[in-house]
């Protein structure tokens, strides 16, 4: 066996990698869980150790990054040639022999189609480029597609601002909600399913609990109880009476 890139071993590694979606599926619930990701990498390391005895977790991360980047560069060439409306004979054919095996990455590593015109920032290193090898069934090289050269257009400040806004919106859409945001969405969904009277009572109770939490008054003994009678309304506060000042009598003067 010729190491990590061997044609017999690499497909096994890719298949095992696919079975661990927390390492590549952005919206997976464990994608941001460091412990789960570390455990998944340990499983991959067990598979690699017999082939590369000196392999470590950083080594695995480098290899995975190389596989992903190389695949995405090849995929970008395919989509670019398809968008150019080239003849069927001129459409770019991937040279990466494990290209089809990595197609599961397409929906989880690229920007959505509506944002596909944004510039690509995929890294490219000699180590990654060395992974692109022709498969055993491809005997002839496919000539690269030469697209007509187009001079880059100068963008206006408004276009730059719009591009930044689109990039920020795209990043927000890909970001996972925090536990607090997820709970708020769940609570809002429950409130929307209630009748108006029930919703009003529930909102009042939630407001009281939140107020106590903000004030640091919640304890393990705090709970919601059912009263026999509704609580009395809060006492109306009346302003204190203004002090009355007596009239000062003037002194009579004798004539």
With a cut of 50, say whether residue 92 has pLDDT above it: yes
Query: What average pLDDT does this structure show over 139-164?
Result: 60
**Better pLDDT: 38 or 93:** 38
Position of tokens 């990590």?
4
Q: What is the rounded average pLDDT of the residues 116-130?
A: 36
Q: Which of 33, 166, 66, 208 is nearest to 41 (CA)?
A: 33
Q: Is the pLDDT of residue 234 over 90?
A: no
Could you give the angle at which helices 34-48 and 57-83 cross, rounded to 10 degrees?
100
Residue 229 — pLDDT band, cuts 50, 70, 90?
A: low
The phi, psi pair for 209, rounded to 5°, reads -65, -45
pLDDT of residue 224 exceeding 80: no
From 141, 148, 151, select the one nearest 86 (Cα to Cα): 148
Q: Which pLDDT does position 217 carry in this prediction?
A: 80
User: What distance in Å separates the CA atoms of residue 74 and residue 132, rounded to the nearest whole number?
Assistant: 9
Three-state SS at 181: helix
What does the alpha-carbon distance between residue 77 and residue 124 come to, in Å, rounded to a whole number?
14
Taking only Cα atoms into account, the Rg of the chain, rounded to an integer number of angstroms, comes to 34
CA dist., res. 84 & res. 99, Å (int): 21
Residue 124 has pLDDT above 80, yes or no: no
Provide the 8-state DSSP code for 243: P
How many percent of the chain have pLDDT more than 70? 60
Give the number of other Cβ atoms within 10 Å of residue 16's Cβ. Answer: 15
Residue range 176-208, pLDDT digits in tens: 566 676 667 667 767 777 788 887 787 888 767
pLDDT tens, 6-27? 999 999 999 999 999 999 998 8
Please indicate whether residue 111 or residue 62 has the higher confidence score (pLDDT).
62
């Amino acid at each position: 066996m010729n190491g990590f890139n061997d044609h017999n071993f690499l497909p096994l590694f890719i298949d095992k990698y696919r079975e661990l979606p927390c390492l590549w599926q952005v919206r997976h619930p464990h994608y941001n869980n460091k412990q789960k990701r570390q455990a998944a990498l340990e499983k991959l390391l067990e598979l690699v150790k017999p082939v590369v005895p000196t392999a470590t977790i950083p080594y695995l991360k480098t290899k995975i990054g190389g596989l992903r980047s190389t695949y995405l560069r090849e995929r970008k060439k395919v989509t670019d040639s398809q968008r150019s409306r080239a003849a069927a004979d001129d459409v770019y054919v991937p040279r990466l022999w494990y290209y089809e095996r990595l197609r599961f990455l397409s929906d989880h590593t690229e920007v959505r189609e509506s944002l596909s015109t944004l510039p690509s920032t995929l890294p490219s290193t000699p180590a990654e480029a060395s992974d692109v090898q022709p498969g055993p069934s491809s005997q002839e090289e496919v000539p690269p597609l030469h697209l007509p050269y187009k001079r880059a257009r100068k963008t206006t400040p408004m276009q730059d601002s719009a591009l930044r806004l689109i990039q920020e919106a795209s990043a927000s859409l890909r970001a996972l909600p925090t536990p607090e945001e997820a709970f708020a969405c769940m609570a809002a969904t429950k409130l929307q399913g209630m009748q108006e009277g029930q919703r009003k009572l529930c909102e009042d109770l939630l407001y009281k609990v939140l107020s106590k939490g903000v004030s640091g008054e919640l304890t393990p003994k705090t709970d919601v109880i059912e009263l026999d009678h509704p609580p009395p309304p809060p006492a109306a506060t009346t302003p204190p009476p203004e002090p009355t000042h007596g009239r000062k009598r003037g002194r009579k003067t004798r004539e």
